[in-house]
Structure 1
């Protein structure tokens, strides 16, 4: 879509040069003949594209030339998003709004809940699974029947209502489509042996008669799974530290693959057992076994260990076990990796079926009215593969513990042993687990539009109903079954049965604690008993009733004043019911989930006026004023008024200055208000003070952990408790914002034969007050413990959300929805377009660059603004460029996407010359090429994305979430070099 991207700033040019809406010359010229159109950002029909707001038009032809197999892929491209990170298919192992498998879009680096998605100018309601459904899932959108996508990069709450804070995306279907078209596309990643590839097959058909029309499409999209095993940069995640600070695996002499880190896909302690001696807890918070590895006897003086690994060659100390790790020792001396970890999903698989239809019938009455309707049905089936560690507690005195380990006592009951002390704890590499989602989405629209009794006035009224119904399933260890299976009696030497078998006839005894069990070879009948699917359901519905009228109000010397006025009512409802085991906290070492249930409705009236002030005067070829307003009244948050004022000024024919200023209002989404109170747990490895005395640790973290009285070799033995809840009962307020854009468009007349040149630059500012957000528990911990020691001591900033228990040093993080004090985004968009006839055809060059001058926020009013511009995941500059040449039936294209390098050293107080962390990325380039041949009734397009197989840049662990060794950032390509072919046949 790069060819269409330049329309972001050029689309407001006069109609004869509005060909920027499409990359092909023929279609560009045809666009000039359109008489009555409504461009996104305004409700007023125009005979040209003059508009005060910058709009971007993306065509299906350019999407095909770039190799995008779906609307989702095109909308999440760097050219559309400006390089800001999006929730895509690489987030399957993370908790995201909309649940696993959902794809969303957030413009200007803001959350998806601040970008409104429309289909044919009408809202697309949220879809997804789990309680946090609050934004449109791009997966529900059709692809085959789409004509273009219009992107407004400007606040527009006064025009479109809540959510249009950062911008609006409107998907426009093909009007008046006739005939039948078959289309097929295959994208084949060449570096992953086809893994991660995608296929789309579609049929589009349309018919017309004198008084009626009908069109529709049916399509099937499938994406194959891409695992960590399939890409080189994810097969061996390392610490990635500089100055030789990686942990070196003694087995290979190289940096250890998948060590224990706190950021992204990483290793975990497996194949070990925790043992302890009778007595009080040690300084690190747990009883520890003292003795030399394989030599010392229980209680003897020597090395302190709290993990032991099976080793049949050890006869002394603890026979059959060697010590692997304890206070002061690197955790990575333990086993942290096994081959099944590479089965985890890097890009999750999905199957999507989409049916879309639209009809219209001319009544020849009610003002030449047309009755129209739309229907969209979409089903998504997605899944993810993960990896699970099983921490299995054996009670003191259990017959499952061998006599050689009977001396051990670790601590009190941790929940599996009916109040008894834990005798031994096995850390087992359980293997892969699976999650699945099935989301059925339906959207139905019925309306009527026609002429009013007033000359040139038209009306349009419609009702719509949308429903997302999903089921989501994950495999979980059930705590109650684990408890019963560990409470056993020995029926014969080496044979066990559940002690309460009479009351639990299906109970299967847990395996005995031995080397085989510790290594993860578990009896299948026991696994089938304790490891069960847990299924929840989510339903989201939205109803809309809307009416609008538009036409000329009166005339001024410079032309007619046009107006649009309307009213709308919307009601939304969410009902998420997690599986009963999840609600009751019966999922072992996994979060609990409460029911999310709530509704809200809003009534709105709105209007827009456009007035030509001056025209055809010296120094003023055009001066046009546009203004809009909206009164909003929510059941939940009361009423408010938003407005927007825009100005278009052309001093001469080929220079245009434009600008807008407006306000926005966003009531918190239903899940932000009502998401059920949830208590979850993060691994104890997320405690940022673990082993903080080791070399290379952030000095701020060292000072803050020391201030809490923790030893440098501190190791937490407690999970991190994370408490989340909706904000409705905690005074969560609606967020407000202001939005300003100022732009310049220049299209100088060139000498004959020199071609056509256009340039545009737009400056934008978005400032959100009381922004609704959750930071994320891991991020809260990092930003607290790496903060300035003075702020830490004052319990300021993010440290207000963290508490540490004075007795056992356990952490609790409160990560509920709150109102951020400020959230700012500022920057500039630059676009250049040049077209020239060369030889038998036409050459076209496009360049689009986005610059962020500020991406900042603060949690509390008294905190300083923190600017993340230019840091990892927030590049200052991104750009796209392409050159194409079209002649006869051929078209060739070459495109480049660019993401500027990033650097986070200064923010974390690190000197890049001496730091052990790698906190910088180089510039990233993606090259794409394609060729297209169009003959009578059929078209073939072939190309390659990521032509030079550029891998994502790498960073070190410990700061940012990673995929393998790369940042978790949607702007980077994880698939590698990918060939694609698209074939269409029309009748």
Structure 2
């Protein structure tokens, strides 16, 4: 289970047994506590609730709300587990392995610059330390939100293994994993070798490929509530209302006429015309009920994931002055999921059918001729797009450590990481060939051909009947729906050397320092087929694919760094000052793309009496732009947005994203203050309460299309320049969302960690009782763009899966007696608003979402060197909260809630 312990509490106990303690968040090896809050989860706690991955265990902690993972579902291209500390984005959390930076492992075609933690050798992890404050001065760029350091057990001796199987109570989302790890000494204990292997697979959980009404993997996912402009808005009426059974009204499977005299004519599966029901409360592209497309059933609740990872390490102690080591890591993963549907109207409104189209029913053609119409626009959707990602990551490191003179120590390492990936999309459209295929006419001999074939008989065009619901032929798929591929290669080279030791002693203790230098180089190349780099002749936008046009990319940068840290015991053994320790750190980084950047940290720990410690820290942190953010060419996709300039109607639009070579590093300022309590008069009790405040300026981000449109309407002229409208109708055509240094991003809140452990007796049977409560209160999570009002996502649980509730928590009670262990765990996601941007909705459909709870039960039984275990997750089969949405993102917030329902896990472990 991903319960947490205060590392300060552990360090205090350990300080009586060892002279040097290395605490994540500090480079100085000392028994003095660091001022920055650090949460530690040990290996037993990680494994207690039988998670499929180590990320699944960590994501139970409230500080990791909004992490991106295959088990969290939703339509996305994220092919792995990306930790999101403080909901500030995965790119702002630095991921370390034994204190060393890991290379980024995002797949091609998705956001690059994140680290997929699936490839970490989970079986060898001794503990996971999470620094919940800025740590750039200690570890470098990306540690704006904090650091997650996976610490391996380098001294492990023996052999251990695990096998586990899981399935939901509905018989779906089957998953399993197995692994084997070992370690041993050689050369009379001077050498040591470690190895680990793990393989895991989890089935995809998705709705019917065509999203027929009601075909969904869960009852709650059959339909979603919608949030639309009130058609009766006015004095005394709310601006927005919620509607049941949200449908995308303009895109039935058979197609519907969206213009002219035949407006509202739909088509049966064989292409015959019929009247169409657009539903009620129609708002642009969405409505309540009717014959339209319900996005809810087909959104994945879990992506299919297969992964294999291996790790090896060998070390040899040549003398007390030098121990050298070499490590190898390898991981391969496959991720598969549905990511949305294709719509002709989203490709371009100009893709219409001419009056002489060979497939038009006679009654529709007659209406067009009677009204002098030359073409009609057809709205239609197709089968779900499918994405498959294959990613391979490799890492090799060489390093060493040892003593120099006296108590001084040295450390050095060099590593090279390499990532290759491919993203394969099925179901996307070559819009150029598609436009030719639907422009079908009668040839002089009466056969149906593409109009282009009449003038170019060898053009290979395959005609297609847009009207009706027929499966595509092999020839049609090959012509206008070929496989779309992206391939990427990334590499990272790092080198670092440091020394640490005492400078001098004072009455309060030794003044210790650490200092070092480092170098890092990042490279990325991304390849794709020609269509992504073409200019679409129908839209004038980059890319001829209907969706996900990402042209080839190549770029690199390097950084040279120097850093230092000092730990200063100031006072000790005085009245009201049992100890007072100061900590200072500074780092200078010289980036090839943006020049020099200085980061620093200052902190203090004051213990007035035994069992009470107050701590505070302040830091200046930085995150440099990634290769993707700097060098990505323009690419286009699709979106549905509310348009304030057109009555807040929901309308289709084409977002265009691009990199920005002029980006500057983000700058974060973090303040933390808290107290750690371990009163001696309550043995087994420990508590920590920490306040945090993070403000990031020069934020590197892209506003989503809706935010761009909303903030333009709120008065941001700079963002209005990014919205392109039709000069005649004023309808939105495209929305540019480049990477920008936006004004600011800030968050603040309080972390709570309370635990109690004691021996108890029930009759003649003794045991150990553990109680723990871990909670986070998020006061604000605010983004602010130039010329726009601040927008707070704290307490917003429905806004594009980006907000967080004010309160989240994890509580547990466990009891161990003899060979048995029992654990009950409670998850809590607080209530909030549908959207903080919406001040009022229809009475009876309030702008609020209630809190959500779910419970896990785990039982373990030890039999000699074996342990058998079973877990029932979401014991009472609690559904996620329904969240009304103003888009087509689905009926709930997939990142916050448990969407899989009750599920069972059983497994066995052994250790020799």
Give TM-score, length-normalised by structure 1.
Answer: 0.82
Range 399-408 or range 630-639, more displaced: 399-408
Work out whether residues 834 and 883 of structure 2, in 8 Å CA contact, stay in contact via their aligned partners in 1. Answer: no
Distance (whole Å) between structure 2 residues aligned to residue 542 and residue 499 of structure 1? 49
* CA displacement at 1:816 relative to structure 2: 0.8
Work out whether residues 116 and 123 of structure 1, in 8 Å CA contact, stay in contact via their aligned partners in 2. Answer: yes
User: Which of 436, 448, 456 is the matching residue for 2:400?
Assistant: 448
User: Which of 153, 163, 167 is the matching residue for 1:188?
Assistant: 167
Quote the residue 1:220 is aligned against: 199
CA 275–16 in structure 1, closer or farther in 2 if over 3 Å, else same = closer
Give TM-score, length-normalised by structure 2.
Answer: 0.88
Is the aligned partner of 1:768 residue 2:660?
Answer: no
Quote the residue 1:433 is aligned against: 385
Quote the residue 2:871 is aligned against: 943
Is the aligned partner of 1:146 residue 2:133?
Answer: no
Work out whether residues 319 and 404 of structure 1, in 8 Å CA contact, stay in contact via their aligned partners in 2. Answer: no
* CA displacement at 1:346 relative to structure 2: 2.6
Distance (whole Å) between structure 1 residues aligned to residue 358 and residue 777 of structure 2? 66
Distance (whole Å) between structure 1 residues aligned to residue 388 and residue 836 of structure 2? 41
Quote the residue 1:743 is aligned against: 674
CA 182–311 in structure 1, closer or farther in 2 if over 3 Å, else same = closer
Distance (whole Å) between structure 2 residues aligned to residue 325 and residue 892 of structure 1? 54
Matched residue count:
862
Work out whether residues 583 and 602 of structure 2, in 8 Å CA contact, stay in contact via their aligned partners in 1. Answer: yes
Distance (whole Å) between structure 2 residues aligned to residue 967 and residue 424 of structure 1? 37
CA 659–73 in structure 1, closer or farther in 2 if over 3 Å, else same = same
* CA displacement at 1:826 relative to structure 2: 0.9
SS in 1 for 2:221: helix
Quote the residue 1:231 is aligned against: 218
Quote the residue 2:505 is aligned against: 555
CA 725–358 in structure 1, closer or farther in 2 if over 3 Å, else same = same
SS in 2 for 1:57: strand
CA 399–800 in structure 1, closer or farther in 2 if over 3 Å, else same = closer
Is the aligned partner of 1:635 residue 2:587?
Answer: no
Work out whether residues 484 and 507 of structure 1, in 8 Å CA contact, stay in contact via their aligned partners in 2. Answer: no
- For residues 761-782 of structure 1, the C-alpha deviation after alignment (integer angstroms, 9 at most, x for no partner) is 1111111111111111133335
Quote the residue 2:550 is aligned against: 593
Distance (whole Å) between structure 2 residues aligned to residue 601 and residue 734 of structure 1? 14
CA 60–982 in structure 1, closer or farther in 2 if over 3 Å, else same = farther
Matches within 5 A, 1:506-545: 507=460, 509-512=462-465, 517-545=467-495
- For residues 725-770 of structure 1, the C-alpha deviation after alignment (integer angstroms, 9 at most, x for no partner) is 1121xx32221121111111122222xxx64222221111111111
User: Which of 665, 684, 699 is the matching residue for 1:734?
Assistant: 665
User: Which of 631, 643, 650 is the matching residue for 1:674?
Assistant: 631
Work out whether residues 279 and 291 of structure 2, in 8 Å CA contact, stay in contact via their aligned partners in 1. Answer: no
Work out whether residues 749 and 779 of structure 2, in 8 Å CA contact, stay in contact via their aligned partners in 1. Answer: yes
Matches within 5 A, 1:38-187: 38-47=22-31, 50-81=33-64, 84-89=65-70, 94=75, 99-128=77-106, 129-130=108-109, 132-187=111-166
Range 225-234 or range 118-127, more displaced: 225-234
SS in 2 for 1:652: coil
Distance (whole Å) between structure 2 residues aligned to residue 32 and residue 196 of structure 1? 48
Work out whether residues 571 and 577 of structure 2, in 8 Å CA contact, stay in contact via their aligned partners in 1. Answer: yes
Quote the residue 1:981 is aligned against: 906
CA 153–359 in structure 1, closer or farther in 2 if over 3 Å, else same = same
Quote the residue 2:540 is aligned against: none
CA 841–175 in structure 1, closer or farther in 2 if over 3 Å, else same = same
* CA displacement at 1:835 relative to structure 2: 1.5
* CA displacement at 1:268 relative to structure 2: 3.6
Distance (whole Å) between structure 2 residues aligned to residue 114 and residue 71 of structure 1? 20
Matches within 5 A, 1:316-355: 320-322=273-275, 324=277, 332=287, 335-337=291-293, 342=297, 344-355=299-310
* CA displacement at 1:967 relative to structure 2: 2.3
Quote the residue 2:575 is aligned against: 618
SS in 2 for 1:577: strand
Quote the residue 1:650 is aligned against: 607
Matches within 5 A, 1:695-710: 701=644, 704-705=645-646
User: Which of 818, 821, 840 is the matching residue for 1:910?
Assistant: 840
- For residues 337-363 of structure 1, the C-alpha deviation after alignment (integer angstroms, 9 at most, x for no partner) is 48x984553311011010111110122
Work out whether residues 342 and 385 of structure 2, in 8 Å CA contact, stay in contact via their aligned partners in 1. Answer: no
Quote the residue 1:870 is aligned against: 795
Distance (whole Å) between structure 2 residues aligned to residue 119 and residue 429 of structure 1? 46
Structure with higher Rg: it is: 1
- For residues 923-951 of structure 1, the C-alpha deviation after alignment (integer angstroms, 9 at most, x for no partner) is 11121111112232111121211111111
- For residues 810-863 of structure 1, the C-alpha deviation after alignment (integer angstroms, 9 at most, x for no partner) is 323221111121211111112211111111122111111211122212111x54
Quote the residue 1:814 is aligned against: 736
Quote the residue 2:312 is aligned against: 357
- For residues 782-820 of structure 1, the C-alpha deviation after alignment (integer angstroms, 9 at most, x for no partner) is 5555xxxxx3xx455855543433313232322111112
Quote the residue 2:779 is aligned against: 853
CA 473–65 in structure 1, closer or farther in 2 if over 3 Å, else same = same
* CA displacement at 1:504 relative to structure 2: 7.0
CA RMSD across the alignment: 3.2
Residue segments in structure 1 that go unaligned for 5+ positions in a row: 19-30, 246-254, 262-266, 277-287, 290-304, 411-419, 690-700, 707-711, 786-790
Distance (whole Å) between structure 1 residues aligned to residue 145 and residue 453 of structure 2? 59
Is the aligned partner of 1:11 residue 2:14?
Answer: no
Quote the residue 2:831 is aligned against: 901
- For residues 490-528 of structure 1, the C-alpha deviation after alignment (integer angstroms, 9 at most, x for no partner) is 375565477639967583532446xxx422344443234
Work out whether residues 268 and 389 of structure 1, in 8 Å CA contact, stay in contact via their aligned partners in 2. Answer: no
* CA displacement at 1:424 relative to structure 2: 4.0
Is the aligned partner of 1:722 residue 2:655?
Answer: yes
Distance (whole Å) between structure 1 residues aligned to residue 254 and residue 40 of structure 2? 55
Work out whether residues 699 and 743 of structure 2, in 8 Å CA contact, stay in contact via their aligned partners in 1. Answer: yes
Greater share of residues in strand: 2
Is the aligned partner of 1:369 residue 2:332?
Answer: no
- For residues 407-426 of structure 1, the C-alpha deviation after alignment (integer angstroms, 9 at most, x for no partner) is 4669xxxxxxxxx9963444
Distance (whole Å) between structure 2 residues aligned to residue 148 and residue 497 of structure 1? 64
Residue segments in structure 2 that go unaligned for 5+ positions in a row: 208-215, 233-242, 345-350, 537-542, 798-802
Is the aligned partner of 1:468 residue 2:387?
Answer: no
Work out whether residues 251 and 379 of structure 2, in 8 Å CA contact, stay in contact via their aligned partners in 1. Answer: no
User: Which of 331, 335, 357 is the matching residue for 1:398?
Assistant: 357
- For residues 679-712 of structure 1, the C-alpha deviation after alignment (integer angstroms, 9 at most, x for no partner) is 3443xxx2524xxxxxxxxxxx4xx536xxxxx9
SS in 2 for 1:974: coil
User: Which of 640, 651, 663 is the matching residue for 2:620?
Assistant: 663
SS in 1 for 2:143: coil
Distance (whole Å) between structure 1 residues aligned to residue 231 and residue 735 of structure 2? 34
CA 436–505 in structure 1, closer or farther in 2 if over 3 Å, else same = farther
